[in-house]
Amino acid sequence: MRLDKFLSQYTDHSRSLVQQAIKSGRVLVDGVTAKKGDQKIAGHEIITLDGTHIEAFQTRYLMLHKPLGYVCANSDSEHPVVVDLIRLPRWQELQIVGRLDLDTTGLVLLTDDGQWNHRITSPRSECPKTYRVTTANPITSETAALFAAGVQLHGEKMPTRPAQLELISSHEARLQIHEGKYHQVKRMFAAAGNLVVGLHRESIGDIQLDPALAPGEYRALTADEIKSVVP
Ligand code: URA
């Protein structure tokens, strides 16, 4: 395997951060400063990044049904965190693939494969995410048109990418977005003069929240689900 691939797989560094680390001499292979990301490694070497030994492990890919009131973080001083729900060894090493708000429920992916995580969460990724939204006020047809055209959110340079809104009832809709700006769904509805009172993520790309999972439960992804996230 290439050194840069190894490091982005077994750390939370993206490929470009790994390249920077190699260029600045922060990566050692068997005590020798690595010079190039394409250096081949066989698997028995001692590889360190900033002095920390990076070890290969069996990568894990999980889907969790996030309950209300949990924070998408590895620790929090006020609220329970989603990794508290995971009863696996090395649970602290799991990365949360994108965040949901405290009051949002639904699909959360966790992995220790940094590259796979990056494919979904990189700002350039257009990986669709689907949410079921409940609002305080009726959802108008102008809202769908506004979201399809792109919404200029306060403090953002660019309008949102075109998003698809499917009305389910007067106060409920399914929204598919192709990026993941901070509080994006709530801010989009606020820009349309509405207020989100319930938010549930149903899918990320082709990965659907398994209806057999109750809030708080999780399962390993299938090989097809893992493969569905393409570079
Ligand atoms: N958009 C939001 O506003 N909140 C979430 O939790 C996810 C998307």
Which of the 8 DSSP states describes residue 91?
A: G
Q: Could you give the percent of the chain with pLDDT greater than 90?
A: 86
pLDDT tens across 133-175, in order?
999 999 999 999 999 999 999 999 999 999 999 999 999 999 9
Average confidence score pLDDT of the chain: 95
How far apart CA 197 and CA 35 sit, in angstroms, is: 52
pTM: 0.79
Residue 44 has pLDDT above 90, yes or no: no
8 within ligand 1 shell (Cβ under 6 A) = no
Q: Cite the residue boundaries of each domain of the chain with CATH code 3.30.2350.10.
A: 61-227
Q: Could you give the percent of the chain with pLDDT greater than 70?
A: 100
Question: What is the set of active-site residues?
Answer: 101
pLDDT tens across 174-222, in order?
999 999 999 999 999 999 999 999 999 999 999 999 999 999 999 999 9
| 61-227 CATH | 3.30.2350.10
pLDDT value of position 90:
80
How far apart CA 115 and CA 229 sit, in angstroms, is: 11
| 3-54 CATH | 3.10.290.10
pLDDT value of position 98:
92
Residue 89 has pLDDT above 90, yes or no: no
pLDDT value of position 128:
96
Distance from the CA of 107 to the center of ligand 1, in angstroms?
A: 12
184-191 vs 141-149: helix crossing angle, rounded to 10? 120
Nearest residue to 37 (alpha-carbon basis) of 69, 2, 81, 71: 2
Distance from the CA of 48 to the center of ligand 1, in angstroms?
A: 36
Q: Cite the residue boundaries of each domain of the chain with CATH code 3.10.290.10.
A: 3-54
pLDDT value of position 219:
97
Q: Which segment of 8-17, 69-78, 100-109, 182-191 scores lowest on mean pLDDT?
A: 8-17
Q: Is 153 within 8 Å of 187 (Cβ atoms)?
A: yes
How far apart CA 209 and CA 190 sit, in angstroms, is: 26
186 within ligand 1 shell (Cβ under 6 A) = yes
- Which parts of 143-212 are beta strand (E)? 164-169, 172-177, 196-204, 207-208
